[in-house]
Amino acid sequence: MVPPGGIRGGRPRLRGEAKPRVDAVPRAEAATIGKAAPAGEAATRSAPDPAAAKKRVLFLCIGNSCRSQMAEGFARAYGSDVMTPLSAGLSPAPIVAPLTKLTLAEKNIIIDDQFPKGLDVVAGQPVDLIVNMSGAPLSATGVRIVEWPVDDPIGQPEPVYRAVADQIEGLVMRLILELRQTAN
């Protein structure tokens, strides 16, 4: 039996105390993230919210079945400290390509819960950066757009998917390093 407080024989519990999830902020508080606190409220806050420093990055391709899903998977795995990644497609496919899932699984990145989304799904969410892999010209007011010329692997054999995944992984890693440098 574990005594109250989780201490057992002078040792803390292995899993520690439950921590609230950063993404579970109530809507009323979420609307104030990044805004200055009213006078008197500032003294009650001990540290800045780490979610406020994260950049919201939208990875965009044609079908949100291959390239943007790969980029979002790598970004979640490697850069969750500096970004909140999203992905979408200009013309969403019905499913995430099985070879996309297989290729990422080979790199220990599981995206089984992902599904193709259109711009309408992410339209209400503000973003700081759009990474465009669609090859289509894109413009957005007040948002930085970066073009990544990455070939679409849809319909190609596994080696092409692996090459595309390697290319996207390198580009995502460079983006993460850039975001980490600008955060400091």
**Cβ contacts of 162 within 8 Å, gap of 6 or more:** 103, 106
Residues 110-136, mean pLDDT to the nearest whole number: 94
Rounded CA gap, 26 and 38, in Å? 18
Mean pLDDT of 12-17: 42
The phi and psi torsions of 66 (rounded to 5 degrees) equal -130, -85
Question: Phi and psi dihedrals of 103, rounded to 5?
Answer: -65, -45
In the chain, % helix, strand, coil (3-state, to 5) comes to: 35, 15, 50
Q: 158: closest CA among 95, 114, 89, 105?
A: 105
| pTM metric for this prediction | 0.72
Write out the two tokens for 140. 């957005």
Q: Write b or e for each residue in 94-129: b if 16 or more Cβ atoms lie within 10 A of its Cβ, otherwise e.
A: eebbebbbebbeeeebebeebebbeeebbeeeebeb
Q: What does the alpha-carbon distance between residue 96 and residue 65 come to, in Å, rounded to a whole number?
A: 4
Q: What is the mean pLDDT of residues 156-171?
A: 98
pLDDT at 123: 85
Q: For residue 94, what pLDDT is reported?
A: 97
Predicted confidence (pLDDT) at residue 104 exceeds the cutoff of 60 = yes
pLDDT number for residue 49: 55
Q: Domain 52-183 is classified in which CATH homologous superfamily?
A: Response regulator (3.40.50.2300)
pLDDT in tens, 56-92: 999 999 999 999 999 999 999 999 999 999 999 999 9
Q: Which residue has the tokens 């500096």?
A: 82
pLDDT (0 to 100) of residue 132? 97
Query: What's the whole-number average pLDDT of the chain?
Result: 81
